[in-house]
Amino acid sequence: MERRMAAVKPPARKERRLLTPETHVEGFRLARAVRRVELVEDYVELIADLIDAGGEARQVDIAARMGVAQPTVARMLARMAEDGLVDKEPYRGVFLTPAGRRLAEESRDRHQVVEAFLLSIGVPAETARKDAEGIEHHVSRETLETMRRRLAKQG
């Protein structure tokens, strides 16, 4: 006996007008800027961890832990030095400026709150760690404070 399924008609597509090139450019420019901030936060957080663990952060170690080539790290570190977040010393490692250290601490704090919150709602540890890495960059102050309050009530 063959079972037949009724044909399902796809929903009607809503007519969408294409955005102007200027509008597209602005949206993509903003998205790239946000991604750059995310990347900078990841770098300063990693640099802080390496300094805290071993006294300095070497370009080779940053590249290995970020999973990128050393020239990629060199370009990012040059930009971060221009932005006043790191100091590079010839034949030594990379060090955070006070502004870089503050950014690393803020990023680490957001990460820890998000990860703790995810764990508190039953997300498995490995998944919570990975998800927190992305969420930490996008969570609003309001949401982060709500997470903090919820964690404080549980603690």
Q: Using one digit for the tens of pLDDT, what is the confidence trace for 85-104?
A: 999 888 889 999 999 999 99
Q: Which token pair is 16? A: 């969408």
Architecture of domain 101-154: Orthogonal Bundle (1.10)
Token pair 């404070």: residue:
145
What's the pLDDT score for residue 129?
94
* 8 Å CB contact between 87 and 94: yes
Q: Which token pair is 79? A: 């930009």
What's the pLDDT score for residue 87?
95
- The ranges of the chain annotated as CATH 1.10.60.10 are 101-154
- 11 by Cβ neighbours in 10 Å (0-12 / 13-18 / 19+) ranks as exposed
Q: Which residues contact 125 (CB under 8 A, 6 or more apart)?
A: 119
- The ranges of the chain annotated as CATH 1.10.10.10 are 26-97
What's the pLDDT score for residue 75?
95
CATH of domain 26-97: 1.10.10.10
Residues of the chain with pLDDT under 50: 1
What's the pLDDT score for residue 33?
75
What's the pLDDT score for residue 104?
96
